Amino acid sequence: MTDTIDASAAAPATTPATEQVTAPVYTVTQERRIVTAIPGPKSQELHQRRLAVVPPGVSSALPVYIAKANGAVLVDVDGNQFIDLGAGIGVTTIGHTETAVIAAAASQLQDVVHTLFTITPYEEYVRVAELLAEHTPGDFAKRTVLVNSGAEAVENGVKIARKYTGRSGVAVLEHAYHGRTNLTMAMNFKAAPYSTGFGPFAGDIYRAPNSYPYHDGLSGAEAAARTINYLEKTVGAADLACLVVEPIQGEGGFVIPAEGYLPALQEWCTAQGVVFIADEIQSGMARTGEYFASTHFGLVPDMVLTAKGIAGGLPLAGVTGRATIMDAAQPGGLGGTFGGNPVAAAAAVAVFEQIEKGALLGEAARIEQTLTTGLRALQDKYDIIGEVRGIGAMMAIELVEPGTGSTTKTPHAEAVSAIAAYAAQRGVLILTAGTYGNVLRFLPSLAISDELLEDALAVLDEAFAQLAR
């Protein structure tokens, strides 16, 4: 392990910029391998221990206990290897235990682990803020505050927008997901399981219709007019601090809005003095083949929220916004004990460096191509696949009841559960999504090879065939 770290740490200094990036060396063979029943005996034993001490509110999609993860493969305690199409919900975007990330974090652990940035600061925090200023859309002065989680980033974005505008209203969209804290529970579209019984909730949240072309059939302009009309009539722009949107809705089922929808919302926000906040917590950090998905839609948000993929698996999140807006918060008003932890920040710097020097953005396009081709082929065979959609390594299929694909498009959640369960038994970890639980989402690491994707697609084909029988 030490050798690997040394080699990688020395690489940037000695490798000429023009030289090809060397192929990654994996410590786990990049293949699917099932050697026991799923879950295996050791996972089952751990699961019993867990049930005695961890509440059921924290549930696991697949209770196989992971002992090692590398590249795009998870290895469980029984020695089974899974192709990981979830990447911890889009967190290990550049790969599990990525060499440069591990090296940067390990080196930082030797130097300083914690000081608290609001007592005595350190360079890594500043460097992450510089990188976010450079890589988020928009050529203007920006500031970044670092926090610990996506939900905390959303909370801070709203807080700052309220202070800047002197208004309190917060607009969100149908099918949105923003977290599990008190404010963000109120911002989510879906009550169960996220907020059922957990009230009272934060007020002044307004949920406007979104653009969901597969279901509403509206053009971007029509959907935007509907959203804006709702906000003007139900809230009134004068009371709105911000509109928070996911450029591609994550938990909502990778909904890609119709062309022109998001730019129209941004234009309206700008005209009305409403802060336009892009929640890029799931869609950001190279996942879609751009640093941020906003770029695909021509957006230049006033504020961009990051988390998930930013630090290669270490907990870190950020709120990056126009200096004029961010500077509204008074000294001492922002921060928190662990926010922008040096180890997580050092890992984030390594993630940015890997994206900058490697071909990772291109890898997202390759993955989109391979998955789109494979999933469309499945759609031709199985009529319950209503739609194939997505950008980069953020792809999804929406399943509908047989024969409803061109009529009611009735959600088919049981098929999604059955297929995810079948795939897991055969060593493919695939996540579900969607307000109605009828979406299978593919958000693998950008390190995943076409061979692994093809292998996973073959398993999916078997799963659909099994279901059709």
Ligand X SMILES: *Cc1c(COP(=O)(O)O)cnc(C)c1O
For residue 93, which of 374, 348, 373, 397 has the smallest C-alpha distance? 348
- CB nearer ligand X, residue 250 or residue 374: 250
Q: How far is the CB of 451 from ligand X (least distance, A)?
A: 28
Q: How far is the CB of 326 from ligand X (least distance, A)?
A: 19
| Cα–Cα distance, 386 to 15 (Å, whole number) | 48
Q: How far is the CB of 277 from ligand X (least distance, A)?
A: 11
Task: Give me the helices (H) in 32-139, please.
Answer: 41-53, 87-90, 99-111, 123-135
- CB nearer ligand X, residue 84 or residue 401: 84
Is the distance from CB of 422 to CB of 339 less than 8 angstroms? no
Q: How far is the CB of 391 from ligand X (least distance, A)?
A: 15
The pair phi, psi for residue 271, each rounded to 5°, is -65, -30
- CB nearer ligand X, residue 96 or residue 178: 178
In 148-272, beta strands by DSSP E: 169-173, 205-208, 240-245
- CB nearer ligand X, residue 151 or residue 344: 151
Q: How far is the CB of 371 from ligand X (least distance, A)?
A: 19
Q: Which residues contact 236 (CB under 8 A, 6 or more apart)?
A: none
Pairing of strands 431-433, 439-442: antiparallel
- CB nearer ligand X, residue 308 or residue 426: 308
> Which residues lie near ligand X (CB under 6 A)?
149-151, 154, 177-179, 246, 250, 279, 281-282, 307-308
Q: How far is the CB of 241 from ligand X (least distance, A)?
A: 18
Q: How far is the CB of 178 from ligand X (least distance, A)?
A: 5
In the sheet where 240-245 sits, what is the strand order?
Answer: 142-147, 317-322, 303-306, 275-279, 240-245, 169-173, 205-208
- CB nearer ligand X, residue 351 or residue 378: 351
**1 burial class (0-12, 13-18, 19+ CB within 10 angstroms)?**
exposed
Q: Which residues contact 34 (CB under 8 A, 6 or more apart)?
A: 80, 81, 425, 426, 427
Residue nearest to ligand X (CB): 150
**Residue 20: how many CB atoms within 10 A of its CB?**
8
**Residue 352: how many CB atoms within 10 A of its CB?**
22
- CB nearer ligand X, residue 281 or residue 453: 281
